[in-house]
């Protein structure tokens, strides 16, 4: 009985990792590499489970179907939503919501980065993004779910508990606060089936995953922070209005920095 329960928990962790990876890759700027990975192994692993609600199963299926569009079409659709600079309707950064204060936004990015550092990770390598970009945060959740599966298979209960605690805390303090409403915003502004489906899946999946884990976000960030008025940027430098690259891709974590568990 215990072995069967552990196998079910392992399969659930792998499925959760695939869904976070599906979202991270489909919210990134489309490339042949990402599409190949999505078609070859991520989408099949993220397919519907018997435990899924009809709404969640349908949301996953819509994303998978929309991936069949030509690459050029998917790139145009991504650029329409996210533009060549940070979009005002749905900025893809956690610090783009809540407070417009540059010091508060810096604190948010530092706290997000501390989660990564605590598990031996830092943002870098050939694929660069800010730590609070939606793809980065989703990729971290995928990493932690895979780490949980590995702990179930090889490491033991203490490591499993640490992985689960980190995921709960990260959803409570960060991704769960802004991710669902960000997804709804993406779905509302999208004109193409893929970003529209991905936005709906992001909102549906985060709400479902938080409910399953018993997570209540510490706040709900549904509105982007006010932009500084023209000329205000000089008071705090270029970091007041950071630009988003349309070639943003899921984070590549590199290096090894040991830290205390979150």
Q: Mind listing the domains of the chain with CATH numbers?
A: 2-254 (1.10.3480.10)
Q: How many residues does the chain have?
A: 262
* Residue 1: predicted pLDDT: 38
d(CA 111, CA 91): 19
Torsions phi, psi of 171, nearest 5?
A: -65, -40
Residue 3 CA to its chain's centroid (Å): 31
Q: Provide the pLDDT for residue 227.
A: 62
Residue-by-residue pLDDT tens, the chain, 262 positions: 367 667 788 899 999 999 999 999 999 999 999 999 999 999 999 987 878 899 999 999 999 999 999 999 999 999 999 976 667 778 999 998 877 778 888 898 999 999 999 998 877 766 677 899 999 999 999 999 999 999 998 878 889 999 999 999 999 999 999 999 999 999 999 999 999 999 999 999 999 999 999 999 999 987 887 666 555 443 333 333 333 333 334 444 444 443 444 4
In DSSP notation, 182-221 reads: HHHHHHHH--SHHHHHHHHHHHHHHHHHHHHHT---S---
pLDDT at residue 171, rounded to an integer = 98
Residue 222, C-beta contacts closer than 8 angstroms, at least 6 positions apart? 97, 178, 181
pTM (predicted TM-score)? 0.84
Q: Cα separation of 99 and 5, whole Å?
A: 44
Cα separation values, 48 from 52, 60, 145, 150, 231, Å = 6, 7, 17, 22, 50
C-alpha dist (Å) from residue 206 to 52, 113, 176, 241, 245: 13, 20, 7, 27, 25
**Helix, strand, coil: what percent of the chain each, to 5?**
65, 5, 30
């Amino acid at each position: 009985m215990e072995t069967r329960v552990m196998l079910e928990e392992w399969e659930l962790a792998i499925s959760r990792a695939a869904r976070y990876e599906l979202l991270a890759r489909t919210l990134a700027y489309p490339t042949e590499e990402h599409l190949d990975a999505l078609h070859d192994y991520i989408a099949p692993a993220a397919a519907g489970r018997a435990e899924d609600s009809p709404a969640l199963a349908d949301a996953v299926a819509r994303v998978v179907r929309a991936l069949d569009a030509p690459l050029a079409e998917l790139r145009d659709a991504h650029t329409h939503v996210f533009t060549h600079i940070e979009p005002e309707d749905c900025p893809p950064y956690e610090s783009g919501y809540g407070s417009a204060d540059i010091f508060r936004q810096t604190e948010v990015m530092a706290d997000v980065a501390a989660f990564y550092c605590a598990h031996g990770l830092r943002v870098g390598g050939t694929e660069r993004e800010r730590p609070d970009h939606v793809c980065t945060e989703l990729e971290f959740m995928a990493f932690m779910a895979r780490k949980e599966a590995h702990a179930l298979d090889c490491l033991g209960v203490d490591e499993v508990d640490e992985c689960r605690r980190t995921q709960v805390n990260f959803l409570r303090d960060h991704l769960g606060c802004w991710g669902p409403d960000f997804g709804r915003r993406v779905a509302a502004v999208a004109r193409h089936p893929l970003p529209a489906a991905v936005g709906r899946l992001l909102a549906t999946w985060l709400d479902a995953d938080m409910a399953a884990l018993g997570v209540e976000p510490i706040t709900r960030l549904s509105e982007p922070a006010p932009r500084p008025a023209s000329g205000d940027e000089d008071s705090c430098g270029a970091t007041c209005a950071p630009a988003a690259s349309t070639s943003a891709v899921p984070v590549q974590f590199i290096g090894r920095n040991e830290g205390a568990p979150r």
